[in-house]
Structure 1
Amino acid sequence: MASFLFGRRLLKCSTDVREIVEKSLPYCSSVSSGRQRVNGVDLYYEQTGRGKHAVLLLPGALGSTKTDFGPQLKSLNKECFTLVGWDPRGYGQSRPPDRDFPSDFFERDAKDGVDLMKTMGFKKFSLLGWSDGGITALIAAARNPELIKKMVVWGSNAFVSQDDLKLYNMVRDVSKWSARMRQPMEEVYGVQAFANIWENWVDGIAQFANRPEGSICMELLPLISCPTLIIHGEKDPMVPSFHPHYLHKNIKGSRLHLIPEGKHNLHLRYAEEFNKLVEDFLEE
């Protein structure tokens, strides 16, 4: 979904996230960043923590580890977890290549993320997926049950309904956004490139509405066997509540936790509560 657009307080929050990441660096047990060659592209990553439990953080649409996960990289337990944030191909610092949206782009991201962790030497790991990153996590868990320990997803969906399609098309033209709304991603991509990538994203996600039942990965949900926590903000304006309930119903043994005041960016707005939920779940 539009990971940065709704409910994030936009420019202010983007600035806050940058500050959080910058301030966190001196206090981490270890911080490293770099690029790994995976499936023909150089994927940017950041790694922190020294725990035995490895966790991959999967960002939302057009997002990156720096824009999407500042409070998690700073505050999740570094003794228990090794955290890996990454920029999917064509996003953030994993450019070139330019981002494109073929019909299998979620499958491609899932393979890239899993193969990145394997290349970095992690034999088993958990997934934290926000928005589009949550969709990617669902596919990765279904395709690689032997590799995934646990999974947390929020702001995510397994299909695109006609209601969803209307929401996406309402925000297609970024020139109609306020400057405050555009600025965070324009800083990453540039003014024209951001407009182009965003419009391509809308077309990319819209193509799923033409599939039977609008499926992105509905058929894969019964294949997920890892313990799964689904978190949903009840005031999320981009992901209607029928989506998390559908995931909960179709992922065997999953849990659903609702945050009454949460919006799409609940892990940023309510970072302390979110991080506690995640730590408790992953440490069980």
Structure 2
Amino acid sequence: LSTLFFIHSLAMGWQHVNGVDLYYEQSGRGKHAVLLLPGALGSTRTDFGPQLKSLNKERFTVVGWDPRGYGQSRPPDRDFPSDFFERDAKDAVDLMKALGFARFSLLGWSDGGITALIAAARNPYLIRKMVVWGSNSFVSQHDLQLYEAVRDVSKWSARMRQPMEEVYGPEIFAKMWEAWVHGIAQFAKRPEGNICMELLPLISCPTFIIHGEKDPMVPSLHPQYLLKHIKGSRLHLMPEGKHNLHLKYADEFNKLVEDFLEE
């Protein structure tokens, strides 16, 4: 059962998928459907405002969603079992099917990029194209140190905390972030820190990797690894880009994405 309402040309609502109610927002009326996959603890609202607002509405139908336990897809509370990326990938694909999209493209940021990689590998006939940025397919010891350095959200700047605290409240946000750091760290115990390395050769859709060269969270060896192991993929470097390059340089990012999706 889905609940649906509209604000300006934006449809929003909940769709029951795999036993949970997933929140989504949809804009545009183009033939090419595109799913936006948010980062850790992320939601449509916090992660993709400029994309929902400004991606070409004549050519694309853009769907943003809050993965289970994030944003407005609560309850349930978010947990991080060893297969949480696989679970998100299945939820994402099943949500799009439930909304009536037979084939669609993926735009995945950070954790959402990992989810997109898995979804594309597992569903080659459903995924048209994929764009990922700020994403990794394994967790190195260096990555672990980066996560550990940001574990304590009280040390974040107020500006960095604010969007998340508005969604979750300060206490729940701090607790969830701690759980996420613990959740991502579990992959470092696997051989080579593997999250989804073995799936990369199974990806057959055209894949565009974007990387901000000043990304403090994702060292450049990650996009290079994806480029090497995803057949026919290409990499675009943004010299000034950090982790949130799609927000800070939204116009440039949106144009890159539109041009790629329309090729």
State if a TM-score over 0.5 links the two structures.
yes
Residue number among 119, 122, 137 corresponding to 1:143 in the alignment: 122
Query: Is residue 195 of structure 1 aligned with residue 166 of structure 2?
Result: no
Question: 1:31 and 1:122 mapped to 2: Cα distance?
Answer: 17
The CA deviation string for residues 252-280 of structure 1, in whole angstroms up to 9 with x for no partner, is 00010001111001111111111111001
**1:174: Cα distance to partner?**
1.5
The CA deviation string for residues 192-211 of structure 1, in whole angstroms up to 9 with x for no partner, is 11111000000000000000
Give runs of aligned pairs for residues 198-209 of structure 1, distance below 5 A: 198-209=177-188
Question: 2:161 and 2:130 mapped to 1: Cα distance?
Answer: 31
The amino acid that maps onto 1:116 is L
Stretches of structure 1 that go unaligned for 5 or more consecutive residues are 1-24
Query: Is residue 215 of structure 1 aligned with residue 177 of structure 2?
Result: no
Give the SS at the match of 2:50.
Answer: helix
Question: 1:53 and 1:79 mapped to 2: Cα distance?
Answer: 9
Residue number among 51, 63, 74 corresponding to 1:84 in the alignment: 63
RMSD: 0.8
The CA deviation string for residues 224-269 of structure 1, in whole angstroms up to 9 with x for no partner, is 0000000000010100000000000000000100011110011111
The amino acid that maps onto 2:42 is G
Give the SS at the match of 2:30.
Answer: coil
Higher strand share: 2
Stretches of structure 2 that go unaligned for 5 or more consecutive residues are 1-6
Question: 2:158 and 2:228 mapped to 1: Cα distance?
Answer: 40
Residue number among 235, 240, 249 corresponding to 1:256 in the alignment: 235
User: How many residues align structurally?
Assistant: 257
The CA deviation string for residues 30-57 of structure 1, in whole angstroms up to 9 with x for no partner, is 3100000000000000001000100000
Query: Is residue 50 of structure 1 aligned with residue 7 of structure 2?
Result: no
**Residue 99 of structure 1 aligns with which residue?**
78
Query: Is residue 159 of structure 1 aligned with residue 104 of structure 2?
Result: no
The amino acid that maps onto 1:99 is R
Give runs of aligned pairs for residues 109-148 of structure 1, distance below 5 A: 109-148=88-127
Residue number among 142, 148, 153 corresponding to 1:169 in the alignment: 148
**1:182: Cα distance to partner?**
2.0
Question: 1:231 and 1:171 mapped to 2: Cα distance?
Answer: 23
**1:171: Cα distance to partner?**
1.1
The CA deviation string for residues 127-166 of structure 1, in whole angstroms up to 9 with x for no partner, is 0000000000000000000100000000000000000000
**Residue 15 of structure 2 aligns with which residue?**
36
The amino acid that maps onto 1:138 is L
Give the SS at the match of 1:61.
Answer: coil
Scaled by the length of structure 1, the TM-score of the pair is 0.89
Give the SS at the match of 1:44.
Answer: strand
**1:184: Cα distance to partner?**
1.8
Over the matched positions of the two proteins, sequence identity in percent amounts to 84
Structure of higher RCO (CA pairs closer than 8 Å, 6+ residues apart): 1
**Residue 4 of structure 2 aligns with which residue?**
none
Give the SS at the match of 2:21.
Answer: strand
**Residue 208 of structure 2 aligns with which residue?**
229
**1:213: Cα distance to partner?**
0.3
**1:183: Cα distance to partner?**
2.1
Give the SS at the match of 2:35.
Answer: strand
Question: 2:77 and 2:13 mapped to 1: Cα distance?
Answer: 19
Question: 1:126 and 1:170 mapped to 2: Cα distance?
Answer: 34
The amino acid that maps onto 2:185 is A
**Residue 15 of structure 1 aligns with which residue?**
none
**Residue 272 of structure 1 aligns with which residue?**
251
The amino acid that maps onto 2:14 is R
Question: 1:117 and 1:279 mapped to 2: Cα distance?
Answer: 20
Question: 1:206 and 1:184 mapped to 2: Cα distance?
Answer: 24
